[in-house]
Amino acid sequence: MLSSKKSVYNFNAGPSALPREVLEKAQSELVDFKDSGMSIMEMSHRSATYEEVHNQAIERLKSLFSIPENYEVLLLQGGASLQFAMIPMNFLASGEKAAYVMSGAWSDKALKEGKTIGDVYEAASTKETNYNKVPDLSEITWNEEDAYVHITSNNTIFGTQFQEFPETNDVPLIADMSSDILSRPIDVSKFGMIYAGAQKNLGPSGVTVAIIRKDLLENVNESIPTILKYSTHASNNSLYNTPPSFGIYMLGEVLGWMEKQGGLEQIQKNNEEKAKLIYDAIDNSGGFYTGHAEKGSRSLMNITFRVADEVLEKQFLAEAKEAGFVGLNGHRSVGGCRASAYNSVPLAACQALEQFMKNFQAKHQK
């Protein structure tokens, strides 16, 4: 079932699969990058060679995502978890409020971090139904005076995803897109800020992308530490301190791979095709498999499901692991099964999982 070039089918939720051709190119350039006699990991981040890599990654991201000119692209560290604190530190002034849409564990973490900084509140929540859907847009409420509205576009643990986004008008909409950024075209101009850890769709762990409208950068809180100000990183081209240079190199190469795939329109088609294989195996199983997410909120990135009973579910995961499938266990907080079919997960892996699910059901259905 496995090809000679790939020993496993990688469905890890993050860090996750990377394109094989990108890994092979990185391997070939690892010791001697562009005849420098050094690895990219060894050279100064102030060198012309590295700056070219750095700037190319930013320009590729701007081009692929159709980022307007009035936005800054920052390459940061600390993951989305640091952004949970940096966002209110920068943008939530004393006396202001911010609205948070609750759709899963990561939005909950963002809210809790916001509460340590200022006055934040829930704008909507689906916690009562165990986050099996994202809130309907009509359920989301905020005030025109709010500093921002925060959403999590895709929820890795529960397998839900916003199919469309709220129109917040003059209130900046801020989105954590860590697990579905660049999986489909979106209108960046609808957002005041988009941020994402790279380790799911963009590259290896260690890089965090932040896309911020420039007018927001003009009003950041000046009383916070210098390194925590977005304006600091914007004015220094994300080179205020030593960047995660290898991760940024890999980010640029993954973005180049996306360009070769045909851009985001084709990436979306690929993701829809991959997800449909697994969702069809669930929907056509007669209840042997059951999906967690409601159909209108289903994620293309993280497909969550349960097997008929607990004993069979454990057997399913054990046999899947033996067959070379990696990362199918659901998050420890909810259990079950989860297949994360990010951009770099090949169609063949999803075809193999679909067939495995059908074969397992045929063997064990009573």
- Which residues are tagged catalytic? 106, 176, 200
Q: Name the percent of the chain in helix, strand, coil, to the closest 5.
A: 40, 15, 40
- 366: how many CB neighbours lie within 10 A of its CB? 6
Q: How far apart are CA 54 and CA 330, in angstroms?
A: 35
Q: What are phi and psi of 151, to 5 degrees?
A: -130, 160
Q: How far apart are CA 119 and CA 98, in angstroms?
A: 7
Residue type at 339? A
Q: How far apart are CA 190 and CA 168, in angstroms?
A: 8
Q: Which neighbouring-strand residues pair with 71? A: 213
Choose among 132, 140, 129: nearest CA to 175. Answer: 140
Structure tokens at 19: 């394109």
How many CA atoms lie less than 13 Å away from 156 in the CB half-sphere?
Answer: 27
105, 155 contact by CB (below 8 A): yes
Q: How far apart are CA 183 and CA 177, in angstroms?
A: 10
Q: Where are the beta strands (DSSP E) in 205-294?
A: 208-213, 289-291
- Report how far apart, in Å, the C-alpha atoms of 360 and of each of 156, 197, 276, 357 are: 25, 35, 19, 5
- Our measurement of the distance from residue 353's CA atom to the centroid of its chain's CA atoms, rounded to an integer in Å, reads 22
10, 17 contact by CB (below 8 A): yes
148 by DSSP, 3-state: which?
Answer: coil
- Report how far apart, in Å, the C-alpha atoms of 38 and of each of 2, 34, 44, 241, 245 are: 35, 9, 10, 21, 13
